[in-house]
Structure 1
Amino acid sequence: MYLTEMQKSALSEAANIGSGHAAIALSKLMNRKIMIAIPSVEVMAIDVLAGSMDKLSEYLLLNTGISGDIRGHISFFMKNDYARHLVSLMPVLKERGKEDVNAYELSVISEVGNIVLAAYLNSLSELAGLKFNITSPNIFRGNLSDISLSLKTSGKGMDEVICIKTEFMQLDAKIEAYIVFSPSKDSVDTLLYSLKA
């Protein structure tokens, strides 16, 4: 998947606008100021993305299907350690047992992921004039091999994906996260044309 400078610029603009909307929504959710760094946008093979990440860490991944003008999948994931730190920023409700904590972590990251993905897709929809529908998301915890396999399965044969890397910032804390956009093969041309090739 080759992007012209104009197409890459359009995706970056959508990511920037989406990040701004997501930061506002997350700040309200967590009752504290959350900032999101300017994201970087690259087209890369999943194996290349996986090769740049920590193979020993555990990750949390939220994956959802896309239909409408563009079909495919979009995913949000981060290291489990980062996810736990993000969850720790939530207002404390009450003490929880270990099982309750695990369920709460998945619930919070699912909500955060939904906010971030919806913000990005909404900004891309407005910028490119495309309509998206999203399916109910799936979330799971796994190692890098699990994450890579999930992304490849979601991509259904696509060699490359659009990878958006960003950081959540709260005071001095920085939390890395990734958005991986995998349009289906028959949707790539529609996407690229809408970005004014």
Structure 2
Amino acid sequence: MHFSLFFFILSSLLLPTSLPQAYGNELNVAKVNDSPFSNALQILQKQIGYDFQTVDLLRRAMTHSSYSRENNRALSILGLDAIQTSISFHYLQRNLDASAKDLSLRISEMSGADSCAADGFRLGLQNVIRVSTKTNSSTDSVVCGAFRAVFGAVAIDSSKADDAGNLFWKFQGGDVLVSAL
């Protein structure tokens, strides 16, 4: 019995790595961990034009606090800060004599909840974000939080808030379109 158990363990460890070599890497093995959520994250990356080095950051960005303790709240705060900094930078670069009131109004218009939710709906984030069964994924606050969290995740993934800000401007130019998720 011990020999059979030993042989089973040994063959299960060696078999998966030796088969592709034996067949010239032509073995087409389906990924075991592909899920609808993982597929949606892959589509979202293509949609926004950013490939995450650490996809778990995007996974967290698309996880609402009602779904898990590991959620998008902190990433959403970072994303909002990156967006607001980028808006400030671009606005002042074009008009250094702008008043604080004008700058504040511009930031509010472009990063406020209404604008943020509209951009998130345009991306179809309501179809991607994980929420509890008691939470509506189509509410403005849920979609806006997810939208902002994407930029927080990009900033962490690239170690550059500028990358998050530059990605934000793609949305403002209308370059990112909804795909079927």
Question: Structure 2-normalised TM-score?
Answer: 0.39
Structure in which a larger fraction of residues adopt helix: 2
**Which one has a bigger Cα radius of gyration?**
2
Higher relative contact order (CA 8 A, sep 6+): 1
Question: Structure 1-normalised TM-score?
Answer: 0.36
Structure in which a larger fraction of residues adopt strand: 1
